[in-house]
Amino acid sequence: MDTVNRPFRSVLYIPGSKDRALDKARGLPVDAIIFDLEDAVSPDAKVDARATLKAALAEDGYGSRYKIIRINGLDSAWGQGDIDALRDANADAFLIPKVSRPDDVQAVADLLGNGKPIWAMIETPLGVMNAAAIAAHPQLYGFVAGTNDLAKELNCRYRADRLPKQMALQTMLLAARAHDVIAIDGVYNQFKDDDGLRAESEQGRDLGFDGKTLIHPAQIAIANECFAPSAAEIELAERQIAAFEEVEASGQGVAVVDGKIVENLHVETAKKTLAKAKAIAEQDAE
Ligand code: COA
Ligand code: MG
């Protein structure tokens, strides 16, 4: 599948130390997996987790799911060892926690030495403020919002509407879009609250995120639904394209559909919607 249109609706964290969860993920309908060595793994399990994860990736069985390894930071006792142990593992990309500047990406790129795509957690105040420079790094492929760390760093309160985090979320989105980088929203901690997850997923989608990071299999279906174009959106996109082609043939540049203007820029968005729907249908068929 072409990576530009590749879906990232659901991106599930799996503790790299947990055999059972590593195995379970082989049958879960997620677009991507973050195999975690950082905060989901306790310090005394970190060294063993490298071998557990490497073996699971070698065995594979993850199909077309995009495989991301989240390493520990290079400022920790484990970051360098994670890279040494997993640089050649069967994964698509590496995710660096708490990225604050482009140099943090370059340092990992140098240690990896294989040109593999790098993703950055944006979860520190400096990371948000340097988001544009980080996104501009040539090996940087995606951003993941670290909304729990962000709340800790900002000292902000939890609110269902995420008002205190909006500036950070939108700053990282602007940076991602400016540099053609994927942007995945943060996790929803109350993994048994479906209504809350849906509301937050819809907000992230409306802001422009490509998908949501998840902590539990029970969250997958809602993220997949919220970040996919709906049947009504697909139908509208088809009508917009048809209506525009019709007026264009008669030498005009503006069509009207459902009482709203449709110009060439709306047609570009409509075509993107259809391409996304097609990529999702292909992914779901696998
Ligand atoms: N990925 C894959 N499988 C998972 C999973 C995950 N993130 N979370 C739970 N499962 C599996 C369990 O192994 C269990 O499988 P089983 O039925 O085959 O035994 C099943 O889903 C049901 O799990 P459940 O009992 O409801 O949850 P739990 O109490 O075992 O775990 C959490 C709850 C929150 C501790 C667990 O979901 C988790 O560790 N999530 C990831 C946390 C994380 O990665 N944090 C870092 C980023 S914020
Ligand atoms: Mg974090």
Give the position of tokens 């071998």. 51
Task: Supply the pLDDT for residue 56.
Answer: 98
CA-to-CA separations, 55 to 84, 217, 286, in angstroms, rounded: 15, 22, 24
Q: CA–CA separation, 50 vs 38, rounded Å? A: 11
Protein residue closest via CA to atom 31 of ligand 1: 216
The two structure tokens encoding residue 258: 């459902």
Task: Please provide residue 57's backbone torsions phi and psi, each rounded to the nearest 5 degrees.
Answer: -70, -35
* Chain segment 29-80, per-residue pLDDT in tens: 999 999 999 999 999 999 999 999 999 999 999 999 999 999 999 999 999 9
| Cα distance between residue 74 and residue 57, in whole Å | 22
| Cβ(181)–Cβ(144) below 8 Å | no
Ligand 1 atom closest to residue 39's alpha carbon, by position in its atom list: 46
> What's the whole-model pTM score?
0.97
Question: Does the Cβ of 24 fall within 6 Å of ligand 1?
Answer: yes
The protein residue whose alpha carbon is closest to atom 26 in ligand 1 is 216
Span 101-138, pLDDT tens digits:
999 999 999 999 999 999 999 999 999 999 999 999 99
**Residue written as token pair 């849906």:** 198
Assess whether pLDDT exceeds 70 at residue 213. yes
Round the average pLDDT of the chain to a whole number and report it: 97
**By C-alpha distance, which of 86, 30, 78, 17 is closest to 58?**
86
Cα(143) to centroid of ligand 1, in Å?
Answer: 23
Nearest ligand, measured from the Cα of 33? 1
* Residue ranges of domains in the chain, CATH in brackets: 10-226 (3.20.20.60), 231-285 (no CATH)
Query: pLDDT digits over 155-203, tens only?
Result: 999 999 999 999 999 999 999 999 999 999 999 999 999 999 999 999 9
Q: What percent of the chain has pLDDT over 90?
A: 97
Grade residue 237 by pLDDT with cuts at 50, 70 and 90: very high
In 116-274, which ranges are E strands?
118-122, 140-145, 182-185, 211-214, 255-257, 260-262
Grouping H, G, I as helix, E, B as strand and the rest as coil, residue 210 is coil
Nearest ligand 1 atom to the CA of 34 is: 44
Of the pLDDT bands very low, low, confident and very high (cuts 50, 70, 90), residue 4 is low
Residue % of the chain over a pLDDT of 70: 99
Measured from the Cβ of residue 183, the count of other Cβ atoms closer than 10 Å reads 25
Whether 39 lines ligand 1, by a CB cut-off of 6 Å, is yes
Closest listed ligand to the CA of 192: 1
Check residue 286 and give its pLDDT. Answer: 82
Ligand 1 pocket member 215 (CB < 6 A): yes
CA of 142 to the centre of ligand 1 (A): 24
Give the atom of ligand 1 at the shortest distance from the alpha carbon of 214. 7
